[in-house]
Amino acid sequence: MPSERLSVVVTRRLPAAVENRMKDLFDVTLREDDSPMSRQELTQAVKYADVLVPTLTDRIDAGLIAQAGDQLKLIANYGAGVDHIDIHTARQHGILVTNTPGVSADDTADMAMALVLAVTRRISEGLAVMQSGNWQGWSPTALMGGRVAGRRLGILGLGRIGQAVARRASAFGMQIHYHNRRRLRPEIEDELGATYWESLDQMVARMDVISINCPHTPSTFHLMNARRLKLMKPDAVIVNTSRGEVIDENALTRMLRAGDILGAGLDVYEHGTQINPRLRDLDNVVLLPHMGSATVEGRVEMGEKVILNIKTFDDGHRPPDQVVPAML
């Protein structure tokens, strides 16, 4: 007789190809619409599911995990970041946690470079002029931005995504600098042409562009705080495609409004969708709706990783992308 299929609950709509494959393999409960699950719905899900497939919009904290049934043994996160999941509490309850690392590095790096170009070349301002119907034709002094070639790019977090950003920026003629918790091996630095800065303060003070590419952890919360933002040059630009909590958004808003920083490109925000309203009306800011990894290819690959993690777990083996507290 065939073995009983795992009960899998997916908290958000996923690409059709991923959902169809899950239907073939598991007793899966899919989301009918693309709204986040309520706390009550999440509580019900963990009471009966063998596997929960959450996304970054779901808060899987100690209180929720405490209400899980004994059958919940795997939280297979759809996404690389796991700061919305209490890994330690899950481990104490015998629940494994997996993620989908490495899939969206190129996609997110593309978006980081798009933001660098959009801010330095004032693309959103040009777009606004065209959409308003007020363009009067070419002018020698209209919407003059800055050339990216030759500028110093300081990457905060030179992991998979940071290295992908470095490769793209290098092709645009930018000088690559970085700060990391640990210095990379010499051969990687040589490949990327990257200069390591042990002091983040010193790097920030000397860069033309800062790219945030580190995860959100207790040690990176407000890593770019008011004091550190004030170290930036007045003609410098900052872009963030990682986690909004890394930047003190209120301090950044004040400095942008005062002209203490030239511009910013943001795809993530400190308080999710609750963006500082004073940030929205600034001409020197490009705001995107957290779309750094939003490619068809990337989202399908993320789903394939989720399925592989669940299948490997179901077969009695360690999932390839298991997350443990020591990794955080």
Q: Which residue range is the domain that position 274 belongs to?
A: 105-287
- Per the structure, the count of domains in the chain is 2
Residue 1 lies in a domain: no
How confident is residue 4, by pLDDT bands cut at 50, 70 and 90? confident
The predicted structure's pLDDT at residue 101 = 92
The predicted structure's pLDDT at residue 327 = 45
Burial bucket for residue 317 (CB in 10 Å: 0-12, 13-18, 19+): exposed
Residue 277 lies in a domain: yes
Burial bucket for residue 59 (CB in 10 Å: 0-12, 13-18, 19+): middle
**DSSP strand E in the chain: where?**
7-10, 27-29, 51-53, 74-76, 96-98, 152-156, 175-179, 194-196, 209-212, 237-240, 263-266, 285-287, 322-323
> What's the CATH code of the domain at 214?
3.40.50.720
In this structure, the answer to whether residues 143 and 207 fall within a common structural domain is: yes
In this structure, the answer to whether residues 70 and 193 fall within a common structural domain is: no
Residue 2 lies in a domain: no
Burial call 188-215: b when 16+ CB within 10 Å, e when fewer: ebeebebeebeebeebbeebbbbbbbbb
In this structure, the answer to whether residues 263 and 321 fall within a common structural domain is: no
Tens-place pLDDT, residues 14-45: 999 999 999 999 999 999 999 999 999 999 99
pLDDT at residue 160 above 60?
yes
Residue 119 lies in a domain: yes
Tens-place pLDDT, residues 193-244: 999 999 999 999 999 999 999 988 889 999 999 999 999 999 999 999 999 9
In this structure, the answer to whether residues 248 and 280 fall within a common structural domain is: yes
> Is the four-CA dihedral 224, 83, 15, 159 of positive or negative sign?
positive
The predicted structure's pLDDT at residue 217 = 86
How confident is residue 328, by pLDDT bands cut at 50, 70 and 90? very low
In this structure, the answer to whether residues 113 and 221 fall within a common structural domain is: yes
Q: What is the pTM of this model?
A: 0.90
Q: Strand, coil or helix: what is 53?
A: strand
How confident is residue 51, by pLDDT bands cut at 50, 70 and 90? very high
In this structure, the answer to whether residues 198 and 303 fall within a common structural domain is: no
Residue 150 lies in a domain: yes
In this structure, the answer to whether residues 145 and 249 fall within a common structural domain is: yes
